[in-house]
Amino acid sequence: MIVIEAEGLKKNFGNVKALRGISFEVKRGEIFGFLGPNGAGKTTTVRILTCILKPDSGKARINGYDVVRDTLKAKQSIGVLPEVSNAYPDLTAWQNIMLIASLYGMRRSEAEARANELLKEFGIHERKDAKVRGFSKGMKQRLMLSMALISDPEIIFLDEPTSGLDVQSARMIREKILEIANERKTVFLTSHNMDEVNLLCDRVAIVNKGKIVTIDTPERLKSRVGGNVAIEVSFGDKVVLNLENAERFGNKYVIYTTNPYKTICEVVDFARKSGTKMISINTRTPTLEDAFLKLLEMER
Amino acid sequence: MKCLAIAKKDIVMYYLKGPVVIFGILLPLFLFLAFWIGRNLPLNFLIAGLISMTVFFASTSVSPVIAPWEGQMRTLERLLTCPISTTTIVFGDILASITFGIGISIVPLLLALGFGLMLNPVIIPAIILAAFCFSCLGLLFSAYPTNLPSTIMMISSLIRFPLIFISGIFIPIQELPAWGKTISMLSPLTYFTDIVRVSLGMSSFLPLYLDFIILAGFSIGFLALAIKLHEHALLRRL
Ligand SMILES: Nc1ncnc2c1ncn2[C@@H]1O[C@H](COP(=O)(O)OP(=O)(O)OP(=O)(O)O)[C@@H](O)[C@H]1O
Ligand SMILES: [Mg+2]
């Protein structure tokens, strides 16, 4: 069953073309990653899907409800953690979470039970009666996630939920995301952290300049770089290495290959012939980051 | 019900903010003292002026700062993703503002009773209606989509001060020249002041029922306009 549908979404801000036709579908129970460089249009897409912005053209549906025409119904089934947003600083954690519960029309007893459960799970229950003003960044973000989950939503939008957090807070949030998906709920996740996306997502859309470059599973995206082994070589000087599937990063090259022995010989030959010093060489498996960079380069 | 939750949040967040206290409580007090000292005016005239001014300033001080502050604190997007309409948000904000206006108005009312003045109970529905009307007016001040509360405070002062002077608080309408009377008819505060003066035993300029009807008319107009303008303005604050 398809629960998030975007069809040719376009959005301009003055002269800036933020979205130039975004289309995709997300199935129930999926963790769907949205990956792209700064300014690609990720947050704009999230804001349209969460009924904050209206698209200039195109359609979007949440649980079958049109985000422009059936706004309240669409909003009722989602939980949102916006990219930059705060809880009310002069309200306590408890007051903040109960405010959201009331706005979703939850019954008081049900809301209290769930709030207690969430705050305990995220380790902020002892501080529930303290004003949010004094919370650390990680505590604030964990509270924001509790607020997003209080209504037990079918679909959850998380816009860079772990950016800028310490390892512990980030891990807590990631574990919760997996748990949510296990309950057959749908998660829409934007992130700059490739490991996170690789670990969590069932499918990933790569966006750039307001368009979708590709949508695929992390595994298949990784295999698209042109080989199952990545060889990293750094040279002492700036050199031009002409090998198939070689990507340059300053004085460093990454070469994707299915025949590492042959490629390493070629690299060593090259170093010997051109007289450049080879500082290091190592092999690893391609990462999602490799795929991401490669696909964005092909776009240019 | 959802607007009650919004109003509760507004009360905890905004009642004690500096500009709200300064413009809502201290300013009418200072204006009153400046108006009183060194003059020999009848007590009921003075207290009528104090009541009008207090209700007016108190009711217009909470509602305009909410939206710019929510934009600046970045709490607005979270609020807008909840399944509520702009109308619910506007009603919640107005409820918080009315409560402030009515609460503060108790002070000059007690003062009047303390001085042994007789108060006609018609003043109670008048204060409630006026607090509603001025709260809606206050929301219009923040329809300009800036996230700087200070800009909104400036806009609201620019509008509130002239209104104070044309509303028969310092000079009774009856004593104004014809053009002055015409101008004063544009201010909703005129009608409230008229009712307050009657309830303190002075003569009214318009029949009471007309004062109430016009005040209600202003309220509905302001409310409809505020909802319409905020529907656009809220999104531009993100
Ligand atoms: N409210 C706005 N007004 C004007 N321009 C905007 C607005 N919101 C977004 N933009 C522009 O639209 C483009 C897409 O922005 P968006 O925030 O969607 O990117 P993003 O992919 O979320 O980036 P990031 O990774 O930095 O969060 C950018 O060029 C941005 O400057
Ligand atoms: Mg973003």
B236 closest CA partner among B33, B86, B20: B86
Is any Cβ of chain A less than 8 angstroms from the Cβ of B12?
yes
Q: Do the beta carbons of residue A18 and residue A41 sit within 8 Å?
A: yes
Q: How far is CA A211 from CA A35, A289, A290, A292, in A?
A: 11, 19, 20, 14
Q: Which residues of chain B have pLDDT under 70?
A: none
Q: Which ligand sits nearest to residue A11's alpha carbon?
A: 1
Q: pLDDT (tens digit, 9 = 90+) per residue, B150-162? A: 899 889 989 998 8
CB contact under 8 A, B78 and A89: no
Mean pLDDT across the stretch A8-18? 94
Please answer yes or no on whether B78 and A91 come within 8 Å at the CB atom: no
Burial (0-12, 13-18, 19+ Cβ within 10 Å), A210: buried
């990653």: which residue's tokens? Answer: A33
Contact A218, A205 (CB under 8 A): no
Per-residue pLDDT averaged across A66-75, rounded? 95
Decide if pLDDT at A142 tops 80.
yes
The rounded distance, in Å, linking the Cα atoms of A20 and A39 is: 13
Cross-chain residue pair A144–B78, CB shorter than 8 Å: yes
Q: What pLDDT band is residue A229 in, cutting at 50, 70 and 90?
A: confident
pLDDT class of A209 with cuts at 50, 70, 90: very high
Rounded distance from Cα A165 to ligand 2 centre (Å): 16
pLDDT over 70 for what percent of chain A? 100
Between the CA of A226 and the centroid of ligand 2 the distance, in Å, is: 30
Contact between B173 and B205 under an 8 Å Cβ cutoff? The reply is: yes
- A20, A52, A196, A179 alpha-carbon torsion, rounded to 10°: -130
Residues of B in contact with A103 (CB under 8 A): 2, 5-6, 79, 82-84
A236 pLDDT above the threshold of 90: no
Distance from CA of A93 to the nearest CA of B (A): 12
Quick one: average pLDDT of A138-148? 94
| pLDDT for the residue B168 | 84
The model's pLDDT over B36-45, given as tens digits with 9 standing for 90+, comes to: 777 778 888 8
Q: How far is the CA of A210 from the centre of ligand 1 (A)?
A: 10
> Distance between CA atoms of B221 and B99, rounded to whole angstroms?
20
Contact flag A75-B2 (C-beta cutoff 8 Å): no
Q: Does residue B37 belong to the interface with chain A, where contact is any CB pair within 8 Å?
A: no
Given pLDDT bands bounded at 50, 70 and 90, which one contains residue A95? very high
pLDDT reported for residue B83: 96
Looking up tokens 């119904």, which residue turns up? Answer: A73
Residue A289 scores a pLDDT above 90: no
Measuring CA to CA, which residue among B159, B161, B147 is closest to residue B65?
B147
Q: What is the mean pLDDT of residues A65-77?
A: 95
Q: Which of A79-93, A126-140, A281-295 has the lowest mean pLDDT?
A: A281-295
Chain B CB within 8 Å of residue A80 CB: yes
pLDDT-derived band at A24, boundaries 50, 70, 90: very high
Q: Average the pLDDT over A150-167 and give the result.
A: 93
pLDDT at B22: 83
